[in-house]
Amino acid sequence: MSATSMRGGEPVAHTGRAAAPSHTASPAAAHSGGTGERAEAGHPGGAGRRRQGIRTHLPITPWLFLLPGLLVTGVFVLYPFLSTVRSSFTDRRTLIGGQWVGGANYQELLHDDMFWTALRNSVLYMVGVVPLLVVLPLLLAMLVQNYLPGIGFFRSAFYTPVVASVVVVGLIWVWMLDDRGLINSTLGVIGVGPVAFLSDQWLLLISCMLVTVWKGLGYYMIVYMAALGNVPKELHEAAAVDGAGAVRRFFTVTVPAVRSTMVLVAALSSVNAFKVFSEVYLMAGPNGGPGGEDTTLVMLIKQVGTGLTGRVGYASAISVVVFVITLGLMLLVLRADRKEDA
């Protein structure tokens, strides 16, 4: 049914149906909308493939990266260790396979005077070296941590013995401590000496200790410098405001701040001092000084287990004892550190 109306004097016809509204979309919207619809219509699995883009690795993948390191550790560390433990229960010699003897080698250790002499020297060496290597590098690090003109020269000078060969260092000190060496010649000028640095039992052991300390100062100095760099300056400033002097700030601020580093240095230097070999071997000779009185445990292992008639089984038993003692030292140091933290 239609109706007629007058608009501007002219008749206008109206139908019963309303005209549909027209929507004009922008070209960009039409293009994007059409593209999205075509993509979803043409690729129904697109969203699923996007989710599968992050691939999960197989459980064995991390072990493949660790495999080279594990092989090296197993061949050059684990297998020799297990072989040494097994040999300690045999009478194996250098050219003879040996038979199982149980704990006979360990029983012989208890009655071997040379073993107890070597154990005494190793313990004394550790007791004499460790306190010096814990305290002196810390003081040295505090002296060279500030940036001053020429401080780089002193840092390099203190660190030079670390990179020097232990053989070269040992020979230099042997020439200096000899009866006709530099030190005894200097003492002779003032009417003292010659001092038997390399022939007296205890002076020889003390001389070896000093060489170990001299060579290790630079290494542990660097360790302490890294720790001192993390100590907040505000702590020292607050202590100074409270009237604390340099010595008091050292014990109340510096030492507590680097205590964990001191424990680390103590553990490392204890193990290294207990297993000392090169310094004593070079300065005391292959026999361990006069009558072998300066022999250490590692030197005893070399003396007993090498040569055509070397007792490999007995030397392996000494090696196991050294391992157990060093492991016990590490555990004691860590346990003491945990108690202080608690």
Query: Tell me: the pLDDT tens digits for 269-290?
Result: 999 999 999 999 999 988 888 8
Contact 280, 208 (CB under 8 A): yes
In this prediction, residue 17 has a pLDDT band, given cuts at 50, 70 and 90, of very low
Contact 240, 231 (CB under 8 A): no
Coil, helix or strand for 334?
Answer: helix
Q: How far apart are CA 1 and CA 64, in angstroms?
A: 85
Average pLDDT score over residue span 62-75: 92
Q: What is the DSSP letter of 12?
A: E
Mean pLDDT of the chain: 83
pLDDT digits (tens, 9 = 90+) for 191-201: 887 888 998 89
Give the Å distances, CA to CA, from 321 to 12, 103, 119, 202, 331: 117, 13, 10, 25, 15
Please, where are the H alpha helices in 145-258?
151-163, 166-177, 182-189, 201-228, 233-241, 246-249, 255-257
Q: Tokens 């490999």 map to which residue?
A: 312
Residues of the chain above pLDDT 90, percent: 47
CA torsion sign for 100, 101, 106, 108 is negative
pTM for the structure as a whole: 0.78
Nearest to 198 by CA among 272, 287, 274: 287
Nearest to 313 by CA among 52, 73, 109: 109
How buried is 179 (Cβ within 10 angstroms: 0-12 exposed, 13-18 middle, 19+ buried)?
Answer: middle
Q: How far apart are CA 319 and CA 312, in angstroms?
A: 10
Q: What is the DSSP string of 275-315?
A: T--HHHHHHHTTTTSGGGTT--HHHHHHHHH-STT--HHHH
Which of the residue ranges 109-123, 221-235, 325-339 has the most confident prediction, judged by mean pLDDT? Answer: 109-123
Q: What is the DSSP letter of 165?
A: -
Q: What is the DSSP letter of 197?
A: T
What's the CA angle centered on 312, arms 307 and 314, to 5 degrees?
120
Q: How far apart are CA 334 and CA 41, in angstroms?
A: 66
What length does the chain have? 342
Average pLDDT score over residue span 252-268: 90
Contact 296, 121 (CB under 8 A): yes
Contact 258, 231 (CB under 8 A): yes
Residues near 315 by beta carbon (within 8 Å), at least 6 away in sequence: 301, 304, 305
pLDDT digits (tens, 9 = 90+) for 155-206: 889 999 999 999 999 999 999 999 888 999 998 888 887 888 998 899 999 9
Nearest to 271 by CA among 335, 332, 220, 327: 327
What pLDDT score was predicted for residue 342? 60
Coil, helix or strand for 290?
Answer: helix
What pLDDT score was predicted for residue 55? 58
Coil, helix or strand for 34?
Answer: helix
pLDDT at 152 over 60: yes
